[in-house]
């Protein structure tokens, strides 16, 4: 059985995206489970700065040699930064899924959305 890391400092969507509060912003990435399931990530399609997304809105996609998966926004808000290094180094998602953020969101209703996300324990139970 494969062991999947779950960062205790983040919250999660069942779709395998994570959220982490950093100051007034929320960093968004994909989980260890997602990157291991996809295997070798070859491309990450990210939105434009200034784009707005609803809770669980699709903000992009991640592609591996095996599949293409949608990326879901764990909080509603405006994209204020994208991780541009992923355009040339998408494999960073495989190497460090919890250290490699995809987008930074200025949340529109963090309190409400944060309560809708899975705790690390609940996300871990989902993987069992």
**For residue 1, what pLDDT band results from cuts at 50, 70 and 90?**
low
57-80 mean pLDDT: 97
The answer on pLDDT for 2 being more than 80 is no
> How many independent structural domains does the chain possess?
1
**pLDDT per position as a tens digit, 86-114:** 999 999 999 999 999 999 999 999 999 99
Q: Does 117 fall in a domain? A: no
CA 96 to chain centre: 12
Q: Does 125 fall in a domain? A: no
Q: Does 9 fall in a domain? A: no
Host domain of residue 79: 17-110
CATH number assigned to the domain comprising residue 36: 2.40.50.100
CA 13 to chain centre: 9
Q: Does 99 fall in a domain? A: yes
**pLDDT per position as a tens digit, 25-62:** 999 999 999 999 999 999 999 999 999 999 999 999 99
Q: What angle do CA 101, 35, 13 make, to 5 degrees?
A: 65
C-alpha torsion sign, points 100, 52, 67, 31: positive
Q: Does 94 fall in a domain? A: yes
Q: Does 44 fall in a domain? A: yes
**pLDDT per position as a tens digit, 3-23:** 899 999 999 999 999 999 999
pLDDT at residue 128, rounded to an integer: 83
Q: Does 127 fall in a domain? A: no
Q: Does 4 fall in a domain? A: no
């Amino acid at each position: 059985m494969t062991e999947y890391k779950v960062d205790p400092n983040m919250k999660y969507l069942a779709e395998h995206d994570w959220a982490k509060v950093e100051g007034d912003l929320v960093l968004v990435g994909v989980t260890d489970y997602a990157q291991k399931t996809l295997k070798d990530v070859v491309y990450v399609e990210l939105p434009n700065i200034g784009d707005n997304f609803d809770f669980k809105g699709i903000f992009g996609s991640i592609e591996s040699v095996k599949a293409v998966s949608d990326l879901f926004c764990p909080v509603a808000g405006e994209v204020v930064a994208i991780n541009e290094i992923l355009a040339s180094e998408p494999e960073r998602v495989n190497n460090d899924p919890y250290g490699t953020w995809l987008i930074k969101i200025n949340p529109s209703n963090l309190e409400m959305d944060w309560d809708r996300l899975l705790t690390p324990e609940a996300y871990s139970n989902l993987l069992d």
